[in-house]
Amino acid sequence: MNSEKNEREPLFSFKNRKLLLNPLNKDNPITIQVLGICSALAVTAKLEPAFVMALSVIAVLAISNVIISLLRNGIPPRIRIIVQLVVIASLVILVDQFLKAFVFDVSKQLSVFVGLIITNCIIMGRLEAFAMGNKPWPAFLDGMGNAFGYGWILIVVAFFRELLGSGTIWGYPVFDKLGLYDVGYKNNGFMILPPMALIIVGIIIWIQRARNKDLIEEK
Amino acid sequence: MYSNKYIFIYSSIMVIIVAAVLSTAAMLLKPFQDRNIVVEKMRGILSSANIESTTNDAIKLYDKYIKEEIVINTSGEIVSNYENGSFTKGDIRAFDIDLKKELYNKSKKLNYILPLLVCEKDGKKTFIIPLYGKGLWGPIWGYFALSDDYNKVVGVTFAHKAETPGLGAEIDTKAFQQQFIGKQIFDDKGDFTSIKVVKGGIDLIPENLRKHGVDAISGGTITSNSVSDMLNDCLENYLPYIKKQK
């Protein structure tokens, strides 16, 4: 790393692009690293909370990655986890306060889940694994990449759960408008229970591994 | 290696900075948040009487339609009355009563007071009773609008702090709340029945009880039961007052 210090790296070099794009697929925090599963189960019964949750995680992860990366040389290793937690918790409280003051309706819908961002293992995982050892710009890209990787899975899961469980997309009654109920279709109540989120995540992992041979472990 | 002294100083400074940032943010944002809470409460009250409002016009509509704010005691006597913007009796506004505190006093067998709001629209009076109770994960609350015969439900609103999205949290949807419209809280003999949220749907109960019941939410049994309990606990307090009015 030291030898590279003198020449300035372009902002979106191959390495930096990989930081941003890898977590979307080959290094996805949910499907490959299996982190942040708990919140993926909890907020995905409907699209809208899943979407706002994804946005909040993007904000918190990108900013906390940058802050920790800026502080990385001064943080005493013995209390580094505490420092990381303090940064995450303060950011989450700030996000929550802002939502309550300016978009009260959204904050009401997310209720406890904003607070639960603190316990999202992806965030601490990235701070510990990446931000502690890298400069702010790569740390920012890494944060954005991982949060997007988390977000798109959340939205895909929420899409199927809301569509099959409640027959709506973003609250719009699709199946009702299509007239499916008139021909005897019924909503699958099982879809809105948390275990189905796990099954959908499992299907996504299956598809992803079948398409991407690198991910298949050797026996 | 960092010395212990460094670690202590580092963490002290960090905590002070974080505390300063967070408390400043909390102080600066408090007025906005408080206003949101008042507006939210007014919207809930208006919505139970089937008056739709937005965040912007809630305060104006509240002043227009909520004509009286009555405070009553446990034996059904009026303690305080706030009418058209001024007190005609007493000095407590029903809007400002903290129902959680009053219900706590009730559980401790202390004296407590109850808020009752009178809404007047197109010459028809509606009596709005605030509700408060325990849900599965946190408090649930709402407003219950009765027509002027003190029996038929005009409308309800429910809200919650932390019920499970897609399950218990469905109590704050129109679909659930609209079931209450037209139901009755007294049976044909005039005995108080409250309104029950029935697991499995009201088709399961005898026909003469169906006007006192609504369908529960599948997967949200505990929240549904909490709504039943909240309705019973809050409405029964008003029985002495209603008896006097009849």
Q: Are B40 and B33 in contact (CB under 8 A)?
A: no
Q: Which pLDDT tens digit goes with each residue over A184-211? A: 888 888 888 888 889 999 999 899 888 8
What's the rounded mean pLDDT across residues A18-32?
A: 84
Query: What's the CA gap between B184 and B161, in Å, rounded?
Result: 27
pLDDT at A113 over 80: no
A138 vs B: CB within 8 A: no
Put simply, the answer to whether B36 touches A74 (Cβ < 8 Å) is no
Residue with tokens 């028809």: B124
Contacts of A82 in chain B (CB under 8 A): 11
Put simply, the answer to whether A78 touches B40 (Cβ < 8 Å) is no
Reduced 3-state DSSP string for B87-148: EEECCCCHHHCCHHHHHHHHHCCCCCEEEEEEEEECCEEEEEEEEEEECCCCEEEEEEEEEC
B13 vs A: CB within 8 A: no
pLDDT of A219 reads 64
A155 vs B: CB within 8 A: no
Residues with Cβ within 8 Å of residue B27, at least 6 apart in sequence: none
B137 vs A: CB within 8 A: yes
Q: Which of A78, A97, A109 sits opposite B26 (nearest CB)?
A: A97
Nearest-10 crossing angle of helices A47-71, A80-102: 140
Put simply, the answer to whether B33 touches A100 (Cβ < 8 Å) is yes
Query: What's the CA gap between A3 and A102, in Å, rounded?
Result: 47
pLDDT of A70 reads 94
ipTM of this predicted structure = 0.72
A45 vs B: CB within 8 A: yes
Put simply, the answer to whether B7 touches A76 (Cβ < 8 Å) is yes
Contacts of B137 in chain A (CB under 8 A): 112
Query: What's the CA gap between A123 and A90, in Å, rounded?
Result: 13
Nearest CA-CA distance, residue A19 and chain B, Å: 29
> Where do the structural domains in chain A lie, given as residue ranges?
28-213
Q: Which of A50, A29, A25, A40 is nearest to A207 (CA)?
A: A25
Q: Are B112 and B71 in contact (CB under 8 A)?
A: no
A74 vs B: CB within 8 A: yes
pLDDT at A88 over 70: yes
CB pairs under 8 A between A and B: 73
Q: How many secondary structure helices (H) and strands (E) does chain A include?
A: 10, 0
pLDDT band at A182 (very low <50, low <70, confident <90, very high): confident
Q: Which of B47, B226, B190 is nearest to B121 (CA)?
A: B47
Cα(first)–Cα(last) distance of chain B, in Å? 81
Phi, psi of B171 (to 5 degrees): -60, -20
Q: How far is CA B51 from CA A51, A199, B43, B127, B180, in A?
A: 30, 43, 9, 14, 16
Tokens linked to B47:
């919505």
B167 vs A: CB within 8 A: yes
Residue with tokens 């408008």: A177
A47 vs B: CB within 8 A: no
Nearest CA-CA distance, residue A101 and chain B, Å: 5
Q: Which pLDDT tens digit goes with each residue over B169-199? A: 889 888 899 999 999 999 888 889 889 999 8
> Where do the structural domains in chain B lie, given as residue ranges?
44-245
Q: Which pLDDT tens digit goes with each residue over A99-110? A: 888 878 777 767
Residues (pLDDT < 70) of chain B are none
